[in-house]
Amino acid sequence: MKKTTLLLAYIFTLSTTYAQNSTEKSIYRVGIFTSLYLDSAYKQGKYQFNENVPKFILKGLDFAVGARLAIDTIQSLDSSSYINYTIYDIQSKNYSIQKLQDDKVFDSLNLIIGNVSGIEFKQLANIACPKNIPFVSVTYPNDAGITNCSSVILLNPTIQVHCETMYNYLLENDAFANKIFISKNGVLETKIKSNYDKLNKGSGTSPLLSWKEYNVTDSTENIDEAYLTNLLDSTKKNVLICGSLDEKFSTKLIKAAAGQSKYEIILYGMPSWETISETDNKSNPNLKVLYTTSFYNTRKQAEKKFEERFIRKTNSKPSDYAFKAYESTLYFSRLLMRHGSNINSHLGDTEEVIFTPYLIKPVYSQSSATVLFRENKNVHIIQHEKGVKTEVTRQ
């Protein structure tokens, strides 16, 4: 309990020592939104989970600590401007997005940084758009159907961008392989298949690439290995393209492919594969597993230094949520200090790279020149082969 309380005190004690120089410095205000579930963690001032931090709190806590470390870095700079930060626990009744809106908190914000999804993402987007407040959505890989929101920036690319990255890699590297598109029934699966079909259509009358299709329709969603074997070609490289984000289905597919040791197989996976342990294949030397991710820890000096700082503060290693919070808070705070609220005109500033370079581009409406939102197009392809993990492409 003591450690958790100290961490929360660290997160919410934000320095405002620059206030005395406010007549000389430009002042900006940043709201950082994440889920800490403090109303559940504390009852009558007493922490409810002994020494443990439940999983449903851990991601938001990691994000908040990562952001706080970035704030420490920013506040150590000698700058002509300073930033007043507030971290909001959006699951708290006192800091729900609706209550903050009712209290007109957003009227004074110059930048919103969010670790949010679903309803909270839509709420923040609907608030940020008419006020023209840059809203950086760090972790949610979805646009939630927003339109005409040029101030909204998705750092975690949508599934369409992941599909584009994998398809382009397929076109450049494995166009002549025996290709099989494998999926199952589902709304997201239909969307993924539509993305691939659209990419494959090209500008002519016939598809750019040809592939076989295997749609698993039985209720168990098990891969019929005998049927899969009939689709494979022993004289060629075989590419299995997964069209589902479902981790259970994906795990079954990886295991089925690993069992086909007589065939050379490359599995084209999804961003959800990042947390599937079966991707670390060591048993089948003829199998490669590829998947996409928007964040890849290269273990270079900057990442190592941040990890050391995080461990000193928390006595635990940072998750990707901490890395993403740190780099996004630092990156956009620097832009804010240099360019004020005119962040969108400087999203390509390469000198601002922290861990991974962003490639933020406007996404336009198909029927007009309207900017729907802005999106990070930088996606990495990670390869697992014989137990070794490498990055095979970087934009």
User: How many residues are given for the chain?
Assistant: 395
CB 193 within 8 A of CB 186: no
DSSP alpha helices (H): ranges in the chain? 2-12, 38-41, 55-75, 97-102, 118-131, 159-173, 187-201, 225-231, 247-258, 301-314, 320-339
Among 165, 104, 115, 106, residue whose Cα is nearest residue 11 = 115
What pLDDT, in 10s, does the model give residues 86-113?
Answer: 999 999 888 899 999 999 999 999 999 9
Q: Which residues pair with 182 in a beta bridge?
A: 214, 242
What pLDDT, in 10s, does the model give residues 235-265?
Answer: 999 999 999 999 999 999 999 999 999 999 9
pLDDT recorded at residue 246: 95
pLDDT recorded at residue 279: 87
Residues 4, 6: Cα–Cα separation, whole Å? 5
pLDDT recorded at residue 20: 38
The helix (H) or strand (E) run that includes residue 201 is helix 187-201
Non-local (6+) Cβ contacts of 84 within 8 A are 14, 16, 27, 28, 29, 30
pLDDT recorded at residue 351: 66
Mean pLDDT by 10 residues, the chain (395 residues): 64 53 72 88 61 77 94 81 89 92 95 95 96 95 92 95 96 96 96 95 84 94 95 97 96 94 95 88 85 88 94 91 96 90 81 85 88 94 90 73
**What values do phi and psi take at 195, rounded to 5?**
-60, -45
Structure tokens at 16: 């405002």
Residues 326, 10: Cα–Cα separation, whole Å? 15
Which domains can be identified in the chain, with CATH numbers? Answer: 2-157+298-358 (3.40.50.2300), 159-293+381-393 (3.40.50.2300)
Residue linked to tokens 């934009």: 395
Residues 89, 41: Cα–Cα separation, whole Å? 12
Residues 194, 181: Cα–Cα separation, whole Å? 12
Among 102, 101, 95, residue whose Cα is nearest residue 124 = 101
Residues 50, 78: Cα–Cα separation, whole Å? 41
CB 291 within 8 A of CB 279: yes
